[in-house]
Structure 1
Amino acid sequence: MLTLFHAPGACSLASCIALEETGAEFEVTNVSFADGEQHKADYLRLNPKGRVPALVVEEKATESGILTETPAILYYIAQRFPDAKLAPHGNDFALAQMQSFNSFLCSTVHVAHAHKLRGARWANEQNSLDDMRAKVPENMSALFTMIEETYLGQPWVLGEQYSISDTYLYTIARWLEGDGVDITTFPHVNAHFKRMEDRPAVQRALRH
């Protein structure tokens, strides 16, 4: 059995969409950030990082435990359910390209977004926090310009093959409006976003 610990609107949506795409049975447990559930003892015993997603895997005697970090969970889902074709299995270079893109989203784009509300991770002084917050629209615009011009194939991140990279990009693109960035300034990203919203798996995931 798979159980995904998820917070609506958070990066865990990418994993939720990927699970929905597989057609596998899984459960979703919502973690309320508003109530600070991610910092409470019960959740910290599961994920000491105090963040989402966390995926509890109880599939087999040899395959059980807890996975954290979006790129790792997405890769596990793609590998665990190869029939869903969420990764370019059999093409080592394309697989590495997918992982490169997901790493970029995780280590660079997500971090740029986090400077808006999570600045206390990096600074204490209010003027520093204000500067980081003010820089978010510029940084996110620059990063999505790079995605628009360099990374995004057509119709999907990897070109013709839909993959876990698409679930991840869509999830982060959902943050652009709140970051003060108009997604329509990026025609390819905007078209990708609309294609994603038409997918039944995305619609199901958004209901969790």
Structure 2
Amino acid sequence: MKLYYSPGACSLSPHIVAIEAGVLMELVRVDLGTGQTESGEDYRKINPDGYVPALVLADGDVLTEGPAIVQYLADQAVDKELAPVYGSRARYRLMQWLNFISTELHKTYSPLFDPRVPPDCKAQFTERLAERFAHVAAVLETQPYLMGERFSVADAYLFTVSSWAPHVGLDLSPWPALTAYQGRVAARPAVRQALAEEGLLK
């Protein structure tokens, strides 16, 4: 398998999950500015939408969208318990978290990274993002991970998007449970390995 990624982008989430699951794959870096891979390949021939991640399977089929990819990877190593069993109520709870992170956190960042968006509009999106993180922090005050006592693929995704906060001027320190969570996840060997492989460890 091949994982197409850009350092620190949402593709970091499946990168972490692959390492946690012990799934071997080739990493292919994508320059999102030029739309080319590190070997000069046109990335849009892999994913016509042009964004990461994309996972090319052994048979050549391509999966896109992080929440789908992380569930696929988790299901390749069921014994690692990175996702509840498919069809269980807990699996739907996981999907709930993945959708929340995708729609309420991840996409809310988009205008904050766009230089064309006026400052007053960015302020509104920052406020909305803070409200969503406050909700997450309230959950993490009662349990170490989003699904309870165990790390799951949802945590790989939340860790990734919460790490973008300093880049848009959002201070997460008002939520100690959230910052403690970031430190807890960052200390995991698989997370450290993924960060190192993407050149993100200082």
* TM-score normalised to structure 2 length: 0.88
User: Which position in structure 1 is the counterpart of 2:30?
Assistant: 31
Q: 1:178 to 1:25 in 2, by over 3 A?
A: same
User: Which position in structure 2 is the counterpart of 1:145?
Assistant: 134
Runs of 4+ in structure 1 displaced over 3 angstroms? 128-131, 150-153
Q: CA deviation at 1:84?
A: 1.7
User: Which position in structure 2 is the counterpart of 1:204?
Assistant: 193
Q: CA deviation at 1:138?
A: 1.3
2:53 maps to 1:53: yes
Task: Give the whole-Å Cα distance in 2 for the aligned partners of 1:49 and 1:111.
Answer: 15
Task: Give the whole-Å Cα distance in 1 for the aligned partners of 2:139 and 2:74.
Answer: 24
What is the percent sequence identity of the aligned residues? 32
Q: 1:152 to 1:101 in 2, by over 3 A?
A: farther
Q: CA deviation at 1:117?
A: 2.1
* TM-score normalised to structure 1 length: 0.85
Q: 1:89 to 1:117 in 2, by over 3 A?
A: same
User: Which position in structure 2 is the counterpart of 1:103?
Assistant: 99
Per-residue CA distance 1:64-115 (angstroms, 9 max, x = gap): 5000001000110111211221012277111111110101111221111111
| RMSD of aligned alpha carbons | 2.1
Q: 1:65 to 1:90 in 2, by over 3 A?
A: closer
Q: CA deviation at 1:137?
A: 2.4
Q: CA deviation at 1:184?
A: 2.0
- The count of corresponding residues between Structure 1 and Structure 2 is 195
Structure 1, unaligned stretches of length 5 or more?
A: 120-125
Name which of 131, 136, 142 aligns with 2:125: 136
Matches within 5 A, 1:1-208: 2-37=1-36, 42-58=42-58, 64-89=60-85, 92-118=88-114, 129-150=118-139, 154-207=143-196, 208=198
Structure 2, unaligned stretches of length 5 or more?
A: none
Q: 1:146 to 1:18 in 2, by over 3 A?
A: same
